Structure 1
Amino acid sequence: TVEVSPRHHQYKSGDYTIHAYVDYEDNTVEGFNLGKYNLKAEAPSYFVDISSHNGNISVDDFLSLKRQGIQGVVVKLTEGNSYQNPYARQQVINAQAAGIKVSVYHYSHFVSDEEARTEAQYFVNMAKTLNLPTTTLMVNDMEESKMLGNVNTTVQAWENEMKRLGYSNLVHYTMANWLDFRGGKVDTSKFGLDNFWIAHYPKGYTYMTQEEARTTSYYEHSAAWQYTSVSPKLSHSLDENIDYSGRFTL
């Protein structure tokens, strides 16, 4: 049995001819035509992420985003162990009222296991004040270069504490060049590449459309890819992302 992902075929539905090839020990190869298979490929979904920089976003604004193909939002709740997004409650409530799936993120600063545990506790406490269920997707936002010294150990400590507190739906956000397969220090095999949300803007600060992102499909084995920070879908620029896993939008 072979599982085939639509994303490996640019999400194109249609009849696909299946061939199988057997390599024998005598170095010969035999091919088999196994007929056709009708692949029904659902297009990937898209989401935005927001913080206090985005200010008040009304229900109508979220409904406008929804009409433009946005099905999820990741709201910044906390940073370090002393900052809370003052707009978070309103942003969460209005997104939910518009029927958009809400996930949340914490901007991390931890450089030790103890700091990682403390920041996880701070993040969870804020989530609980907003009555977010333990099934909520919780994101560790890693952008501070000081974290890189022992990043794999401290991220593991953060994960362990989050799970101890009852939140196990976890994703790590960072730039592509922080990851091991791009020469960085973060061990993706330790946490699973499918648990990473990766930022990389191929067009720089020129907007990449959803169609362009779908066709390009960078980092397709990850949880999600942030492909632009200049989405024009509201009056101010937004970060826009493609959801490969469905965890941010379904």
Structure 2
Amino acid sequence: MPVITRRRLTLPALVGMVCAALTTLLIVSPGFASADDAGIEPGEAYMGVGVAQHEGRAESRAEPPDVSPLQTVEGVDVASHQGDVDWATLWSSGVQWAYVKATEGVSYENPYFAQQYNGSYDVGMIRGAYHFALPDVSSGADQANFFVDNGGGWSADGKTLPGVLDIEYNPYGDTCYGLDAASMVSWIADFMNTYYARTGRYAAIYTTTDWWTTCTGNNGDFGANHPLWIARYASDPGALPAGWGFHTFWQYTSTGPTVGDHNVFNGAYDRLQALASNV
């Protein structure tokens, strides 16, 4: 008969086993995402970084929605992971507006911002800038000021759209950035009020209905003034967050041509011009 030996676990070994188990639990638990899971480094988050991971791609599409071209205007959003963008190709394909990531938190600036922001403008597009929110690192006011100071302002040239707050799944940790619903709503209001004070424009909000419901308690306070940019990779935008009767922008895919993230503006081109001109 074989002899069975019993190995006594030392305290350091036991601690190591517990830590490993907890790490595994965090990685596989629903709602938790890390920078490694998203394949990005700190500072490199982008619009929709967690949408497919958290919500999937039901009926994912790479073609524009099947609606009259008179009712929508095709656009793209870009960040540092796209690098130098071929704006001429996008323009010739019918893309007429673009949003460019300018900042994240209070320390990250998109190193490709100039090429992307100016390049889209130079080919004829109406363009704007967006900020990726990190509500767990500083106040909303601090991040709004950082955004405005580093490309997120607005000018009355008829070609510049108001800034956008990208508030969505946290790619670096807890889905709601460690804030309860009331604290998250206060943070968003702090950002929005500061942006308005600095620019005279109401910033738009990019989010998903699922994230908004989960992390703000489906708060309805922002719909009266702030345009909604809804993200949903499906055949329609789906149900909207509380407070909004309609969406202004819809990110409908992350696998579009030339650059992945493609969107539509919910209206004709003259309404997009009106949004840029604040009329």
Task: Quote the RMSD (CA, aligned, Å).
Answer: 2.8
> Which residue is 2:80 aligned to?
52
Tell me, yes or no, if structure 1 residue 189 matches structure 2 residue 220: yes
Q: Where does residue 30 of structure 1 map in the other structure?
A: none
In the alignment, is residue 87 of structure 1 matched against residue 119 of structure 2? no
User: Match for residue 4 of structure 1?
Assistant: none
Structure with a larger share of its residues in strand: 1
Counterparts of 2:125 and 2:211, CA distance in 1: 30
Q: CA deviation at 1:117?
A: 0.6
CA-to-aligned-CA distance 1:170-197 (integer Å, 9 cap, x gap): 11111231234xx663545210076211
Sequence identity of aligned pairs in percent?
26
- Alignment partner of 1:127 is 2:155: no
Q: How many residues align?
A: 190
Q: Which has the higher contact order (CA 8 A, sep 6+)?
A: 2
TM-score of the superposition, structure 1-length normalised?
0.67
CA drift at 1:62: 1.4
Aligned counterpart, 2:16: none
- State the alpha-carbon separation in 2 of the partners of residues 179 and 146 from structure 1: 9
- 5+ residue gaps in structure 2? 1-65, 274-279
Deviations 1:54-98 (A, max 9, x none): 0012xxx21221222211110000000000000001111111110
- State how far apart, in whole Å, the 2-side matches of 1:199 and 1:110 are: 20
Pick one of 142, 164, 179 that aligns with 2:197: 164
* C-alpha separation in 1, matches of 2:200 and 2:154: 10
Contact 2:73 2:267 in 1 (8 A): no
Inter-CA distance 238–87: structure 2 relative to 1 (3 Å threshold): same
For 2:27, the equivalent position in structure 1 comes to none
- Residue in 2 aligned with 1:243? 265
The residue number in structure 1 matching 2:185 is 152
TM-score using structure 2 length: 0.60
The 3-state SS of whatever aligns with 1:168 is coil
3-state SS, counterpart of residue 241 of structure 1: strand
